[in-house]
Amino acid sequence: MDTSQLLKGVLDLAVLAVLRDGDGYGYDVLRRLRQAGLEDVADASVYGTLRRLFQAGALTSYVQPSEEGPHRKYYGLNKTGRDLLAQSTKTWNHFADTMSVLLVEKEAA
Amino acid sequence: MNSTVTGAVAIYLAQVRAELSDLPSGELEDVLEDVSGHLTEVAAEFEAEPTTEALQERLGTPREYAAELRTAAGYPPRTQPVADRDAARKALRWGLVAATAGPFLVAIGIFYWSHDETVFFGVLGFAVLFLAAYLGVRALRDNDPRIVLEDPRGRRGAEAVRGLVDQIPPNVRSELVTIGQPVWWVARGAIGGGGFFALFGAGAVAVVGAVAGAAVSIWIGRRTQQDRRWLWYVVPLNIVAAVAVPAFLSAAYMGASFGFLNDYGDYSSSSSYTPDGLVLNGTPVSNIYPFDAQGKQVSVRLYDQEGNPIALRLEDCEASYGRTDRDSTSNVVPHRVITGDESGNFGEEPNCRDTDKAPFVPPPAPATATPAPTPTGTPSASASSTPTGTTPTPTPAPGTTPRPAVTLTVQPTR
């Protein structure tokens, strides 16, 4: 099964989770997602997700100079973002549990 | 951030921008800031600066990248077709031709001394300007004029201009817009309208032309703010005005004569042109040889009916090679004129020779010195005694007979 299809549904949650550990700029978020094991994540979709969450008011954004050169735009969770993460985590866990039970029962049957 | 990208990254970024150009400008700038950072980081993954192909292999085509971004960000799907890059390139190119070649030719015309060249280069310059501008607007087809900013070259140009504008302090900038712009609109229109009529010799209506030009200029300025396609005409015309307005002002201030500001009444292009000096039947009279009743050449001073001296230009040796401090004309005739030697050569100074001797032999004086208003036939004895019936031919007396076909006109000699 193609994980990129699954990712589309949960990319919001994954990005929020990564940002819970600390603010990050786009490429940094992308790298952390890959390190966490989501290798199939598409670069552009991560940037698009960041924009959508920002537009939805779940993220703050600020520019910080970097040692290497250009300024970087950092994103971080605000209260709305943390609430959204908590709610989405619940939804996901419930969904994952349901799926697990479903799949286990199917195998057992 | 965007300004630091170069090469393949800049091209890729410009193409993504074109794909997303339907986004609200604020969001577009924000997301492209992220994309620019992303592309910079990705480019840094390569050992050398990546090629366009390498970037596409890593990230997909700009179109795919933009589509992915659009979906993930929840932007509405694109409704209008993506800017035609070819159209942008062509429109930009014609715009540049209109803004350079046209004003260049017009500038040549403005600074040319003579009227004919001014008209020639002026008309040619404006023809090039309007043709190129027209082709530029046509190349746009139905695209938004802003697509030229998505062309890499147009984008660099816009950034360069923005960089220059940023050099101006903000308060000066706002004053330039609120005060400078209307003043500029009026100035360019007035000088354009006035100059047009002055150029074609209608100096009297140049003031009306200036007022009308200012009005048209303001109208064009407001139109251009609504329809950016007018920029293809307005920018080159502004460049022309940027040359013409200072030229006009400095000429007016210093009294210098540029080609288009000269007094065209002096030029032979006018149909009512008449040469200066004394004219007999349209032919200039350069010298007058008076003879008295006995056929002897005399020297006289000439005056017209008003008592003005009828002065002729001096063309003797002194005038040609010598003094310059005396009057160049004199009403004492005959003048001495330079004469050639036996072999017809005209001697150079100091061998120059001149003479006031008439270069012709006058016809014999009439038998009677009485000024008779009517031609007097003098039938000879032989005529009356000849029975052949030949009509005696009246001999007109030269000098006393009015010749109605002759007109003598005097123009004041300068």
pLDDT value, residue A23: 93
Q: How far apart are CA B148 and CA B249, in angstroms?
A: 35
Determine how β-strand B332-333 pairs with β-strand B337-338. Answer: unpaired
Say if the Cβ atoms of A70 and B59 lie within 8 Å: no
Q: Which two tokens stand for residue B51?
A: 């090629």
The CATH number of the structural domain formed by A3-108 is 1.10.10.10
Nearest to B71 among A26, A46, A48 (CB): A48
Say if the Cβ atoms of A47 and B31 lie within 8 Å: yes
Say if CB A72 and CB B33 are below 8 A apart. Answer: no
Q: Which two tokens stand for residue B345?
A: 């050569």
Say if CB B226 and CB B197 are below 8 A apart. Answer: no
Q: What is chain A's alpha carbon radius of gyration, rounded to the nearest angstrom?
A: 16
CB-based contact, B37 to chain A, within 8 Å:
yes
How many Cβ pairs within 8 Å bridge chains A and B?
Answer: 71
Q: How far apart are CA B329 and CA B335, in angstroms?
A: 10
- What are the phi and psi torsion angles at B170 (to 5°)? -55, -40
CB-based contact, B61 to chain A, within 8 Å:
no
CA distances from B223 to B126, B216, B219, B312 (A): 21, 10, 6, 60
Say if the Cβ atoms of B72 and A25 lie within 8 Å: no
Q: Residue ranges of chain A with pLDDT lower than 70?
A: 1, 68-70, 105-109
Say if CB B234 and CB B222 are below 8 A apart. Answer: no
Say if the Cβ atoms of B34 and A52 lie within 8 Å: no
Structural domain boundaries of chain A?
3-108
Please give, rounded to a whole number of angstroms, the shortest distance from the CA of B161 to a CA of chain A: 21
Predicted complex ipTM: 0.88
Q: What is chain B's alpha carbon radius of gyration, rounded to the nearest angstrom?
A: 39
Closest residue of A to B38, CA-based? A27
Q: In tens digits, what is the pLDDT along chain B, a chain of 414 residues?
A: 445 677 888 889 988 988 888 888 889 999 999 999 999 889 888 888 888 888 889 999 998 999 999 999 998 888 766 666 777 888 888 888 888 888 888 888 877 767 777 788 888 888 998 998 888 888 887 777 777 777 777 878 888 888 888 888 888 888 888 888 888 888 888 888 887 777 666 667 778 888 888 999 999 888 888 888 888 888 888 888 888 878 777 776 665 444 444 444 444 444 444 456 777 777 778 888 888 888 888 888 888 888 888 888 887 777 777 666 777 788 888 888 877 665 656 656 567 778 888 888 877 766 655 554 555 445 444 444 444 444 445 554 454 444 555 555 555 555
